[in-house]
């Protein structure tokens, strides 16, 4: 199967995906502004340039399907249906945040839409996703799990444990590798042996497919097919999406390790512009495209204002949601070396 074998998508459907991508783009741009203004502590990892992957995959998931994300999780969360306003509050540590203001950018979770969590520890989402898929099989329902993993993370051990376990138990899970070319400031291919993520997945006997991750029409079509296979009991599948991290690794990253012009060249292929062209070619009028874009920014601007106006949580709440085993047991030994 190749990308071009996929059934063509309708303009109405692709327009919905365009709106989601605009929302993600607006969220990331406004989050960067808020970070620069000092409203967000720590760091933020933006999803700009990768919107088509999360959007094309999650648009094929049901509300009761699950996703696991990574450190670059804003786009995945929005695509799965998390509320951008609650997410913005989470980024700013305010009352009403998705994780009660205790998680921040890298720990957004919203179980009500099946978003089981972003994660700052590379590859941990993979093993948790396998656990979730195992739970689904034990419960016997027909939901599935999609796990997002970066290209650099495919060099970590848990990637192999997760793929192996998923295949051995034929779990209902799709691994989505977002190959955005970089792992922090390193070109991933310069530290990766062999033929890359697709070959590695195939080594486990897992059906693995490659797609242009900047083309939401293609991602959506491939995801439609692979998710149907996973849901029908055909076991784990692997979707490898070629894309490009347009922004720095974190918003403060000045990209000093890139050659002149590299970012600009890749910006030519960014997914929103491609999608808008596809829609225009398929009959959507420019005014509808423009108003969808503006509506996304208006929604996020409202979210930013609400987040800035929301108070910080009461300090006493820091002790809620914390597992408390009590004080340590008194030392009962003699002090002699065993
Ligand atoms: C176990 C672990 N090792 C290292 C890091 C530091 N770190 C954070 S993101 C990152 C690069 C990840 O690259 P990739 O998997 O390609 O994801 P991308 O950032 O490109 O989305 C590294 C090394 C970490 N968070 N966790
Ligand atoms: Mg990467």
Within a domain: residue 265? Answer: yes
Residue 121: CB within 6 Å of ligand 1?
Answer: yes
Within a domain: residue 338? Answer: no
What DSSP element (H or E) covers 216? helix 216-231
Please give the mean pLDDT across all residues of the chain. Answer: 95
Residue 318: CB within 6 Å of ligand 1?
Answer: no
Q: Which residue has the tokens 């590299």?
A: 262
Within a domain: residue 264? Answer: yes
Count the helix, strand and coil residues of the chain and give each as a percent rounded to the nearest 5.
50, 10, 40
Domain that holds residue 89: 14-308
Question: 298-314: per-residue pLDDT in tens?
Answer: 999 999 999 999 999 99
Residue 336's pLDDT is 60
Please state whether the predicted TM-score (pTM) of the whole model is above 0.85: yes
Per-residue pLDDT band at 4 (split at 50, 70, 90): very low
> Are 219 and 56 in contact, with CB atoms under 8 Å apart?
yes
Atom of ligand 1 nearest to the CA of 50: 21
The mean pLDDT value for 19-34 works out to 98
> Are 156 and 123 in contact, with CB atoms under 8 Å apart?
yes
Residue 26's pLDDT is 98
Question: 55-114: per-residue pLDDT in tens?
Answer: 999 999 999 999 999 999 999 999 999 999 999 999 999 999 999 999 999 999 999 999
Residue 154: CB within 6 Å of ligand 1?
Answer: no
CA proximity to 296, closest of 117, 56, 55, 53: 55
Atom of ligand 1 nearest to the CA of 245: 20
Within a domain: residue 314? Answer: no
Q: How many whole angstroms separate alpha carbon 133 and alpha carbon 332?
A: 42
Which residues 6+ apart lie within 8 Å of 304 measured at CB? 30, 33, 34, 88
Residue 71: CB within 6 Å of ligand 1?
Answer: yes
Residue 9's pLDDT is 83
Residue 3's pLDDT is 40
Residue 122: CB within 6 Å of ligand 1?
Answer: yes
At 179 the three-state DSSP class reads strand
The mean pLDDT value for 236-249 works out to 98
Residue 245 in this model has a pLDDT that exceeds 50: yes
Within a domain: residue 275? Answer: yes
Count of domains for the chain: 1
Question: 45-56: per-residue pLDDT in tens?
Answer: 999 999 999 999
Residue 202 in this model has a pLDDT that exceeds 80: yes
Atom of ligand 1 nearest to the CA of 154: 15
Q: What percent of the chain has pLDDT over 70?
A: 96
Residue 319's pLDDT is 85
Residue 6 in this model has a pLDDT that exceeds 70: no
Per-residue pLDDT band at 166 (split at 50, 70, 90): very high
Which residue pairs, CB below 8 angstroms and at least 24 apart, start in 4-12?
6/218, 6/221, 6/222, 6/224, 6/225, 7/221, 7/224, 8/217, 8/221, 9/217, 9/220, 9/221, 11/279, 11/282, 11/283, 11/284
The mean pLDDT value for 258-274 works out to 97
Query: Which CATH number covers residue 167?
Result: 3.40.50.970
- The residue whose CB lies within 8 Å of the most ligand 1 atoms, and thus the one to mutate among 183, 241, 257, is 183
Q: How many CB atoms lie within 10 A of CB 62?
A: 12
Within a domain: residue 6? Answer: no
Within a domain: residue 321? Answer: no
Per-residue pLDDT band at 335 (split at 50, 70, 90): low
- The residue whose CB lies within 8 Å of the most ligand 1 atoms, and thus the one to mutate among 72, 121, 152, 185, is 152
Per-residue pLDDT band at 27 (split at 50, 70, 90): very high
Within a domain: residue 326? Answer: no
Tokens at 259, concatenated: 């050659």
Residue 338 in this model has a pLDDT that exceeds 50: no
Q: How many whole angstroms separate alpha carbon 33 and alpha carbon 307?
A: 13
At 253 the three-state DSSP class reads coil
What pairing do the DSSP bridges indicate for beta strands 182-183 and 186-187?
antiparallel
């Amino acid at each position: 199967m190749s990308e071009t074998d996929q059934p063509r998508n309708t303009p109405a459907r692709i327009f919905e995906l365009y709106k989601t991508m605009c929302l993600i783009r607006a969220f990331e741009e406004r989050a960067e502004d808020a970070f620069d203004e000092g409203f967000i502590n720590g760091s933020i990892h933006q999803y700009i340039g990768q919107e088509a992957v999360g959007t094309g995959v999650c648009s094929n998931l049901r509300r009761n399907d699950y996703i696991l994300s990574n450190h670059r999780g804003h786009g995945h969360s929005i695509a799965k249906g998390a509320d951008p306003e609650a997410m913005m509050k989470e980024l700013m540590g305010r009352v009403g945040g998705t994780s009660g203001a205790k998680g921040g950018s890298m720990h957004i979770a919203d179980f009500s839409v099946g978003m089981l969590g972003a994660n700052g520890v590379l590859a941990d989402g993979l093993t948790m996703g396998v656990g979730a898929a195992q739970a689904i099989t034990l419960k016997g329902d027909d939901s599935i799990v999609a796990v997002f993993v970066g290209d650099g993370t495919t060099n970590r051990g848990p990637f192999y444990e997760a793929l192996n376990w998923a295949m051995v138990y034929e779990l209902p899970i799709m691994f989505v590798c977002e190959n955005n070319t970089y792992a922090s400031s390193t070109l991933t291919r310069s530290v990766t042996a062999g033929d890359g993520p697709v070959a590695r997945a195939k080594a486990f006997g897992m059906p693995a497919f490659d797609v242009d991750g900047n083309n939401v029409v293609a991602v959506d079509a491939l995801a439609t097919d692979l998710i149907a296979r996973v849901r029908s009991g055909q076991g784990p599948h692997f979707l490898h999406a070629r894309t490009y991290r347009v922004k720095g690794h974190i918003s403060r990253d000045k990209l000093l390790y890139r050659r002149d012009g590299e970012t600009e060249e890749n910006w030519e292929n960014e997914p929103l512009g491609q999608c808008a062209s596809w829609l225009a070619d398929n009959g959507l009028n420019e005014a509808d495209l423009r108003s969808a874009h503006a509506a996304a920014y208006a929604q996020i601007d409202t979210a930013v204002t609400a987040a800035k106006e929301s108070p910080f949580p009461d300090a006493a709440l820091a002790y809620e949601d914390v597992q408390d085993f009590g004080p340590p047991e008194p030392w009962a030994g003699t002090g002699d070396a065993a």
